[in-house]
Structure 1
Amino acid sequence: MFERFTDPARRVVVLAQEDARERAADRIGSEHLLLGVCRATDTWAAALLAARGVTRAGVEADLDAAPPTDLPGLPDKAALASVGIDLDEVRERVEEAFGPGALESTRAAGRRRWGHIPFGRDAKKVLELALREALRRGDRSIGTEHVLLGMLHSGTGRALPLLAARGVTLEGARAALDDPGAAAQ
Structure 2
Amino acid sequence: MFERFTRDARDAVTGAVAQARAAGAGAVTEEHLLLSLLDGGALRPLGVDGTAVAAGLAAARRRGGMSRADEEALAGLGIDLSEIVSRIEETHGAGALAAPAPRRRGVAASLREVLGRREPENRHIRFTQGAKKTLEQSLRVALGRKDRRIGALHLLLALISRPGPVSEVLADHGVTYSTVETGLAA
TM-score by length of 1: 0.67
Match status 1:126 vs 2:134: yes
Could you give the per-residue CA deviations for residues 14-56 of structure 1, whole angstroms, max 9, x where no partner exists?
1111111112222211111111111112xxx33334x1x231x
Distance 2:142 2:21 in 1: 28
The answer to whether the Cα contact below 8 Å between 2:25 and 2:101 also exists between their aligned partners in 1 is no
Match status 1:30 vs 2:30: yes
Q: How does 1:33-112 map to 2 (within 5 A)?
A: 33-41=33-41, 45-49=42-46, 51=47, 53-55=48-50, 57-67=51-61, 69=64, 88=88, 92=92, 107=102
Distance 1:46 1:108, change over 3 A: farther
TM-score by length of 2: 0.67
SS of 2:161's partner is coil
Distance 1:153 1:106 in 2: 28
Amino acid at match of 1:48: P
The answer to whether the Cα contact below 8 Å between 1:130 and 1:146 also exists between their aligned partners in 2 is yes
| Shift of residue 177, structure 1, vs aligned partner | 2.1
| Shift of residue 167, structure 1, vs aligned partner | 1.4
Which stretches in structure 1 are left out of the alignment for 5+ residues? 72-77, 79-86, 96-100, 181-185
SS of 1:66's partner is helix
Distance 1:108 1:26 in 2: 8
Residue 98 of structure 1 corresponds to: none
Residue 174 of structure 1 corresponds to: 181
Residue 9 of structure 1 corresponds to: 9
How many equivalent residue pairs? Answer: 149
Distance 2:101 2:143 in 1: 42
| Shift of residue 150, structure 1, vs aligned partner | 0.6
Amino acid at match of 1:131: L
Distance 1:117 1:158, change over 3 A: farther
The answer to whether the Cα contact below 8 Å between 2:160 and 2:167 also exists between their aligned partners in 1 is yes
- Percent of pairs identical after alignment? 36
Distance 2:101 2:159 in 1: 30
Amino acid at match of 1:60: A
Amino acid at match of 1:27: A
Distance 1:108 1:61, change over 3 A: farther
